[in-house]
Amino acid sequence: MQYWLMKSEPDTFGIDDLAARKNATEHWDGVRNYQARNFMRDRMKVGDQILFYHSACKTPGVAGIARVVREAYPDHTARNPESKYYDPKASDDDPRWYMVDVQFQRKLSRLITLKELKGNPALDGMALLKKGSRLSIMPVEEAHWRAVLAME
DNA sequence: GCCAACGTTGGC
DNA sequence: GCCAACGTTGGC
């Protein structure tokens, strides 16, 4: 069992949007960063737990929990010229970009804000809190996972 | 809206 | 392979 943090902009797709999806499941398309892609493609397994993080919004923070329900497969939006995620370098032979499916588990009883996370010494060293960290998908250590949920 | 940090692109 | 220019992310 591994733990992850995935960022999403709530104005576009927040935890409530995930909960409202059919089967509360959505494919995580549009990832166009190699490091984030590699985490999905090479390491994510069905059953892994995810902190659903709201970014680029008024109050950034952890909003809920999701889990991986399908392992990496080609991100078809890369092959669609109509998509804003279109990548002309993606091909059938080399899909280049991948996505996983994630399912809503639960919403936290309250938003645990970035500010609070930064103030928790138990989270020292967490990738999310490192200066200049822009990765949209990152692994979370089990101790950090527990410490975040203990703040709920 | 600003800007720091970071990733990607492309000329050389 | 270097690195300047550019684009994006995301907190504030």
Q: Which pLDDT score, from 0 to 100, does residue A5 have?
A: 98
How long is the CA A35 to C1' B4 vector, in angstroms? 21
Q: Are A103 and A24 in contact (CB under 8 A)?
A: yes
Please state, rounded to an integer, the average pLDDT across all residues of chain A.
Answer: 95
Q: In the structure, what pLDDT confidence band is assigned to residue A93 with cuts at 50, 70 and 90?
A: confident
Looking at the C1' of nucleotide C8, which residue has the nearest alpha carbon?
A134
Question: Strand C: which nucleotides have any atom within 7 A of a protein Cβ?
Answer: 8-12
Give the closest residue to A8 by CA, choosing from A147, A137, A139, A141. A137
Residue A91 has pLDDT above 90, yes or no: no
What digits encode the pLDDT tens for the residues A61-90?
Answer: 999 999 999 999 999 999 988 888 999 888
Mind listing the pLDDT tens digit for each residue in A36-63? 999 999 999 999 999 999 999 999 999 9
Among A73, A74, A28, which Cα is nearest to A52's?
A28
User: CA–C1' distance A11–B3 (Å)?
Assistant: 22
Name the CATH topology of A3-149: ph1033 like fold (3.10.590)
> Per-residue pLDDT averaged across A91-102, rounded?
92
Protein-to-nucleotide distance from the CA of A107 to the C1' of C3, whole angstroms:
46
Take residue A42 and report the two structure tokens written for it. 């090479």
Residue A22: pLDDT above 90? yes
Per-residue model confidence (pLDDT) at position A17 = 97
Nearest residue to B8 (CA, C1')?
Answer: A33
Nearest residue for B4, CA–C1': A132
